[in-house]
A and B are shown apart, each in its own frame.
Chain A
Amino acid sequence: SQQGEEDPQALSIQEGENATMNCSYKTSINNLQWYRQNSGRGLVHLILIRSNEREKHSGRLRVTLDTSKKSSSLLITASRAADTASYFCATDAPITNAGKSTFGDGTTLTVKP
C-alpha cells in the first residue's frame, strides 16, 4: 500500500490565491520530498525536508513537517496559472529498503487565470 497519501485529491483556485496540499504517511521516515508533475510529463523535484526540520522555504513554496502527526503540507503562495500541475509527496523507505521512495497518489492543482 502507498506510504504517502495526499489531500485533497484535486484543488482549484484563482490566480493569486494560496494553495495548500497535505500529505500523510504511515511509518517513520528520514526525509520527505515533494515533486511536481505537469500533465503527461515526468516528475520534477521541488523540495526535501528532513525529519528533524519543521519548516522549509524555497521561493513561493513552504513545506512543513509534523513527525508526531506523520504529516506534511506544501503551501504555494501567490499562485500562478503555470503552477497548474499534480503534486506528489515521496517518503524514503525504511533502512531495510534503502534506495526506494514511495509516492502518494498526488494532488491535482488547477490555477485559473
Chain B
Amino acid sequence: DGGITQSPKYLFRKEGQNVTLSCEQNLNHDAMYWYRQDPGQGLRLIYYSQIVNDFQKGDIAEGYSVSREKKESFPLTVTSAQKNPTAFYLCASSQGLAGGLDTQYFGPGTRLTVL
C-alpha cells in the first residue's frame, strides 16, 4: 500500500449521518483520487484533484464532498444525501503525469457500512 494511508479501516454509520474518510499520502504526489467499489465490481471515480485547492467531480459525485487544502491530504465526506453509501472506498494518488503515463498508488481502503 506504499506511502498512502486511509483511516479508519472499517466505519459504521447510521442513516442520516455524515461521515468523513481520511486519506493521507507522503509520496509528494500532486494528484489524488477517490473511488467507490461495490462487491464484485470495478472502481468508480467519485472525485479527483490534480492540484491543491482544486478538485473535479468524477462519475458518481452526488452525495459526496471533498477538500484539498493540503497536498498530502484529500478527505472524503459521505453525506446523508448519498442514498446507498455502503461500499469499499479507495483513495489513490499519482504524480499527475500527462499522456496517460500516470501510475496510481492505492491506499488499503475503508469499508463503510450503513446500519
Residue ranges of A at the interface with B (Cβ–Cβ < 8 Å): 2, 29-31, 33, 35, 40-45, 48, 50, 88, 90-93, 98-106, 108
Contact = CB atoms under 8 A, between A and B. Distances in A.
Contacts of A93: 100
A8 to B, nearest CB: 13
A42 B31 CA distance: 17
Contacts, number: 69
B1 A105 contact: no
Interface of B: 1, 4, 31, 35, 40-43, 45, 48, 50, 58, 88, 90, 92, 94, 96, 98-109, 111
A101 B98 contact: no
Interface of A (DSSP majority class): strand
24 contacts: A2-B42, A31-B99, A31-B101, A35-B104, A40-B109, A41-B1, A41-B108, A42-B4, A42-B92, A42-B108, A42-B109, A43-B43, A43-B90, A43-B92, A43-B106, A45-B103, A48-B101, A88-B43, A91-B100, A99-B94, A101-B102, A101-B104, A102-B45, A105-B42
